[in-house]
Chain A
Amino acid sequence: MFRIRFHGRGGQGIKTAGRVLGRAFFLSGFEVQDAPRYGAERRGAPMFAYVRADEVPIHERGLIQEPDLVVVADDTLVGVPAAGVLSGLDQDTVLLINTTESADIWRHRLNATGQVLVRRPETATDTEDRQYEAMACCGAAARICGVIDRKTVEAAVRTELADYPEREVGRNLDAALAAFDATSAHQGIVRSKDVLASAPGQPPTWVDLPLDRADVAAPAIHVPLTSVLVRTGLWRTMRPVIDRERCRKCWWVCSTFCPDGAIAVNATHEPVIDYDHCKGCMICVAQCPPHAIEAIPERSADRQGEGE
C-alpha cells in the first residue's frame, strides 16, 4: 500500500491536490481512499490531505501514522507543531518539500533519516499567487511513486477540475505536468509496502484517568491569557501594514473594527498591530478611511521586514 500525506494551509489547494493524486491512482487501477482533514474550515490554518492506494481492498482508515511519502506544499508549516508534518517519519519515508532551501539544509535541520527531496516553487516572485504550488507537488508526488504515467496525471487533473474553466484547468495541468517531468530522476523512489510486512510500533501505554475536581475538569478557556499564549498570527497569509505617512492617527477606526482586538493605540495615538495575534482578515484594510493600511503577502512581507 502507498500511504501519502499532503500538508499545507487552508486555501492552498491541498484537498484538490490530494484528490488529483487519489484519482490518478484510481485511474491506474488501484483501490483508493483519499480525504482532507481540517478542523473548523479556515483559510491559512494548517490542514492536510491523505491518500492510500493499494492493489487490494483497503481496510485501514483515518490518519496515516506511518507515511511512505510526506508532501509539504508550504515549508512554513514544518515548524508548527500542531501541523504534525513530521509525525511518523522514519528512514523509509520520503519527504518532499516545496522550498527555496536545499535538501541538505532540511536534512540537517530535521535530522532526517529518510530521503529528502526539494521542489523549488515556480513563483519566486513577490506574488501571493501560490495556488498552483500544491498541484505541482501533486505532479511530483505522482512521478516519485513510479506507478502513474503522464497521461493519467493529465486525466486526473481534468476529472477533478471538471467544473473549472479551461484556462484554469490549463494552468493546473501545466503546473502538475511540469513538476512531473522535472522529477524524472526520482521516479519510483517511494515504495509501496505490504500491509502485513512492517512491524507494529510500541504496545499502547494506556493509563487510568484519575478523577479530577470539576473546576479543573470543565472545558473552560480563561480567555485573556490563553488568547495571548496561542499565536493565532501564524494563520495569516496576508499581512496588514500601516503606512505611517498616510495614517491620520484617528485612534479608533482600525482598532475598533479589528475582530480580534489585535490593534492597540499607543500613547502618541498611533495604531500598532499585534502580529502574533492578527489573523489577517484584512477588515482594517477595508475600513481605514485614508487607506493607510496595505495588504501584503506574508512571504514577501517577511522578506522585506514589513511591519516590524
Chain B
Amino acid sequence: MTDRQLMTGNAAAAWGARLARVDYIPAFPITPQTEIIETLAAWIDAKEMPGRLVTMESEHSMVTAAGAAAATGVRVFTATSSQGLLHAMEMLYTVAGWRVPFVMTNVSRGLASPITLEPDHNDIMAARDSGALQIHCATCQEVLDTLLIAYKLAEHPAVRLPVIVNLDGFYLSFTREAVELPDEQAAAQFVGDYDPGANALRASQPVSQAVAVLGSGLYSYFRYEMHLAAQHALAVYDETSDAFAKVFGRRHAAVESYRMDDADYAFVMIGSFATKAKSAVDRLRANGVAIGLVRPRLVRPFPVAALREALGGLKGVAVIDQNLSNGFGGILHGELAAALHGFAPSPPVIASFVAGLGGRDITLEEFLGIADVVRQSADTGVTPPGRLLYSDQELREVRKLQAVAAVERDELGAGP
C-alpha cells in the first residue's frame, strides 16, 4: 500500500534526509529553508529519528562541519539558501576538494541587492563551479526522491563529491503537493550503508585535508580529477536513477523530455516553473503546435549527450533562464549553446529569455508569446536578441515610484 501524503517541498527534503538515515546535520537557519532543519530537529528531539543536529554560528562553519564530519565517515546532511550559500561558498569549494561526500539542499532565493525572499536561480548558479554536483527539482515528490538518489551518487567511490539538491523557494518550499512516502526499509536498502573507505579521520589519526601544492602539475591533477569524477557522475546518476525506478516506480532521468516526440520546438528550463511550461505545452499542442519541454535535472555534471539527443534536429529552442549573469545574460542559455554548437543537427535558433527573477511570475500568455517568437525566428532564420520578460505595466509601475522618489529628493533638497 502506498503512503501518499500532502507535504511541502521543505518537508519532503526533511523526509529525504530522514529516510537516508543521516548521522549528522550541521545547521544554520535562513528563509525559506529554515523549516527543513526545524522539522529534522523536532524529529530528533522526539526520538523519531536518530542522528545529531548541531546549530552552527554561520553557513561558513556549517559547510566546514559538513565536510569535516563527512571526512570521519559519517553520513551528513545540511541545508541553506541564497546569501547563506554565498557565505558558505569559500568552504564549499574547499570541502569539495577534500573528495568527501555529503548532501546539501539549497532552497533557491534571489540574491541581494536589492534583498528579496522570493526565488530565482542566481544563488545555486553561483555554486556551479565549486565541484559540488547539483540536481534541480520540479516537484515535492522529486525533492524527496532526489535526496535518496543524491546520497548514492555522492558516496559512489568514483565520485565522492558533495551533491546539492535544489528546490525553489515558495513554489516548492512552502507549497504542498501529494508525495508518495517511500517505505522506510525500502529506502534504507536502496541508499545502503555508507562505506567511507579512506574517509576515516580520527583524533588519533590526523589527516591534513587541505594540503598546499606549489609549482608543479599537482594542482591541475587534483582539480581535473574532480572534473573527471563529476563527468563520471553522469553514468553513475543514470545507473542510480534506473535502480530507483525499479524499486519505487518513479523515473527521474538526468534530462526530462515532455511531449518531445515529433516536436519541432522546445522550451528548455530547470526547476519548478518547468511544470508551468508543461501547462503551456499542453495548450500549444492542443492548438497544433509541435512543441515540448526539455528539463535538465542535472546541471553539474551538465548532461551534454542527453541534451544533444533531446534537442538535435529541432527547428528552434527557447531557453528560459531564471538567473542573470550581469554583462552576459542567461547562464543556462550560454551553457546549452556551447553544448549544441558544432554538433551536427544543432537547432538553427537557440533563443534566450530571462524571466522569473526574484519570484516574478511567468504567465501562460508569456509562454505562448515565447513560442511565437521562436517559431517566427525559425521561419526567418534570424535568432532574436536575448529578452527579459518585463511588461510595459511593470515599467510604468517603476516609473511611478521613481517619480515619487524624485519629488521626495526635491523636497528634501538632497538631489538634482
Contacts and interface: CB of A to CB of B under 8 A. Distances in A.
A35 interface: yes
B100 to A, nearest CB: 35
Interface string A198-223: 00111111110100000110010010
Interface residues of A, number: 39
Nearest to B138: A61
B178 A61 contact: no
B170 A219 contact: no
A229 interface: yes
B369 to A, nearest CB: 4
Nearest to A228: B408
A226 B176 CA distance: 37
B268 to A, nearest CB: 17
B273 A39 contact: no
A219 B364 CA distance: 29
A66 B193 CA distance: 49
A224 interface: yes
Contact of B390 (A32, A35, A207): A207
Contacts of A224: 408, 412
B283 interface: yes
Contacts of A65: 361, 363-364
A22 B176 CA distance: 9
Given A35-B176, A195-B279, A200 B365 contact: yes
Given A35-B174, A219-B113, A222-B408, A62 B276 contact: yes
A60 interface: yes
A201 B279 CA distance: 15
Interface stretch (B12-20, B91-99, B391-399): B391-399
Contacts of A35: 8, 170-171, 174-176
Contacts of B395: 207, 209
B38 interface: no
Contact of A202 (B177, B365, B387, B390): B365
A216 B113 CA distance: 15
A206 B408 contact: no
Interface residues of B, number: 46
Interface in B251-293: 272-273, 275-276, 278-279, 282-283, 286
Given A33-B175, A195-B282, A219-B113, A204 B364 contact: no
B279 A62 contact: no
Contacts of A19: 176
A292 to B, nearest CB: 35
A59 B170 CA distance: 16
A31 interface: yes
B409 interface: yes
Contacts of B272: 61
Given A19-B176, A225-B412, 20 more contacts: A23-B6, A31-B178, A32-B177, A33-B175, A33-B177, A35-B175, A37-B174, A40-B117, A59-B275, A60-B279, A62-B276, A200-B283, A203-B365, A205-B391, A205-B393, A206-B369, A206-B390, A207-B392, A215-B415, A219-B113
28 contacts: A19-B176, A26-B6, A31-B178, A32-B6, A32-B178, A33-B175, A34-B176, A35-B171, A35-B174, A40-B117, A59-B282, A60-B279, A61-B175, A62-B361, A65-B361, A65-B364, A195-B279, A196-B282, A200-B364, A204-B365, A204-B366, A204-B391, A206-B387, A206-B390, A215-B415, A224-B408, A225-B411, A226-B408
Interface of A: 19, 22-23, 26, 31-37, 39-40, 58-63, 65, 195-196, 200-207, 209, 215-216, 219, 222, 224-226, 229
Sort A-B residue pairs by CB-CB distance and give the 9 closest, nearest first. A219-B114, A225-B408, A35-B175, A59-B278, A59-B279, A204-B369, A59-B275, A205-B392, A207-B392
